[in-house]
């Protein structure tokens, strides 16, 4: 069932009511601080849930009070996500010799650039992200920590999808921030290809919308460098101009 995004008053009760049932209390003002740090964006609810879960892990050792001290130690909502991701990846790296390459393999499929040229998360087929055993293990580890979320696509025969749970992960995990900086130029070029391929498709595959060979060369280099996979219409769009001309001559 589709649900509207909860308002602040509803989010407040989502925190305090379950806590009351579990005989948990909060330091005065802490709930308001958590809500302020979480914000009201569409991803606020899972972000809030993540922060509360991490806070509970820390506080349950000392009693039934969720304290400001513990929350500050986590670094707040944003830092809690980054710390959790970094701890997980450090553990993962101990048993995976190609951990850095695996991280690139996974997240190159999970991030994109929106119409404002802003880096954002991307929902994609699980099979595209887990082509190697190492990638599958990293995805499962990130999913267990609720940093990634997996869901089933529509239709009885649809395959599962995966995406970043919290947009904040893209800006609060230093290792991922650096990776995104290195990939940003390629992501911007990929976005241009995706838009141009859609326009070409909408035109009924009008040749006037196709890019010349000189403009396609940087795209081929980007794909070779990044390893990013394209959709069928994008593959057809970047087909070498020479191949298209030969086909036209044969017809």
DSSP 120-159: EE--EEHHHH-SSHHHHHHHHHHHHTTSEEEEE-SSTTPP
Bridge partners for 125 per DSSP: 161
Mean confidence (pLDDT) of the chain: 85
Residue 147 has, within 13 A of its CA and on its CB side, a CA count of: 27
Q: Is the pLDDT of residue 21 over 60?
A: yes
pLDDT at 243: 65
Mean pLDDT calculated for residue range 29-55: 82
Cβ atoms of residues 82 and 159 within 8 Å: no
Average pLDDT estimate for 117-143 = 90
24 contact partners, CB below 8 Å, separation of at least 6:
56, 64, 65, 66
CA distance 227 to 107: 11
The pLDDT confidence band at residue 251, using thresholds 50, 70 and 90, is: low
| Model confidence, pTM | 0.72
pLDDT band at 139 (very low <50, low <70, confident <90, very high): very high
Residue 27 pLDDT > 90: yes
109: left (phi over 0), alpha (psi -120 to 50) or beta: alpha
* Whether 121 contacts 164, CB under 8 Å: yes
| Interval 64-86: pLDDT, tens | 889 998 888 888 887 888 888 99
Residue 19 has pLDDT above 80, yes or no: yes
Q: Which residues contact 78 (CB under 8 A, 6 or more apart)?
A: 37, 168, 171, 172
pLDDT digits (tens, 9 = 90+) for 168-224: 888 889 999 998 888 888 888 888 888 899 998 999 888 888 888 888 888 888 888
Rg (CA), the chain: 22
SS3 at position 110: coil
């Amino acid at each position: 069932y589709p649900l509207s995004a909860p308002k602040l008053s509803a989010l407040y009760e989502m925190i305090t009511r379950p806590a009351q049932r579990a005989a948990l209390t909060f330091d005065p003002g802490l709930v308001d601080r958590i809500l302020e740090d979480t914000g009201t964006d569409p991803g606020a609810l899972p972000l809030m849930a993540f922060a509360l879960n991490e806070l509970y892990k820390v506080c349950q050792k000392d009693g039934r009070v969720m304290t400001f001290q513990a929350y500050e130690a986590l670094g707040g909502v944003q830092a809690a996500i980054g710390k959790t991701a970094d701890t997980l990846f450090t553990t993962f790296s101990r048993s995976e010799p190609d951990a850095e390459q695996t991280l690139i393999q996974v997240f190159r499929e999970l991030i994109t650039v929106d119409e404002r040229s802003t880096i954002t998360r991307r929902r994609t087929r699980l099979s595209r992200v887990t082509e190697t055993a190492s990638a599958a293990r990293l995805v499962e580890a990130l999913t267990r920590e609720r940093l990634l979320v997996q869901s089933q696509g529509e239709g009885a025969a649809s395959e599962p999808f995966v995406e970043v749970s919290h947009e904040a992960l893209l800006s609060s995990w230093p290792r991922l921030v650096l990776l995104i900086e290195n990939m940003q130029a390629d992501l911007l070029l990929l976005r241009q290809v995706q838009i141009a391929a859609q326009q070409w498709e909408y035109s009924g595959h009008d040749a006037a919308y196709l890019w010349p060979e000189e403009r396609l060369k940087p795209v081929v280099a980007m794909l070779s460098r990044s390893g990013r996979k394209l959709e069928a219409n994008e593959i057809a769009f970047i087909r070498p101009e020479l191949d298209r001309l030969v086909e036209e001559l044969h017809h």
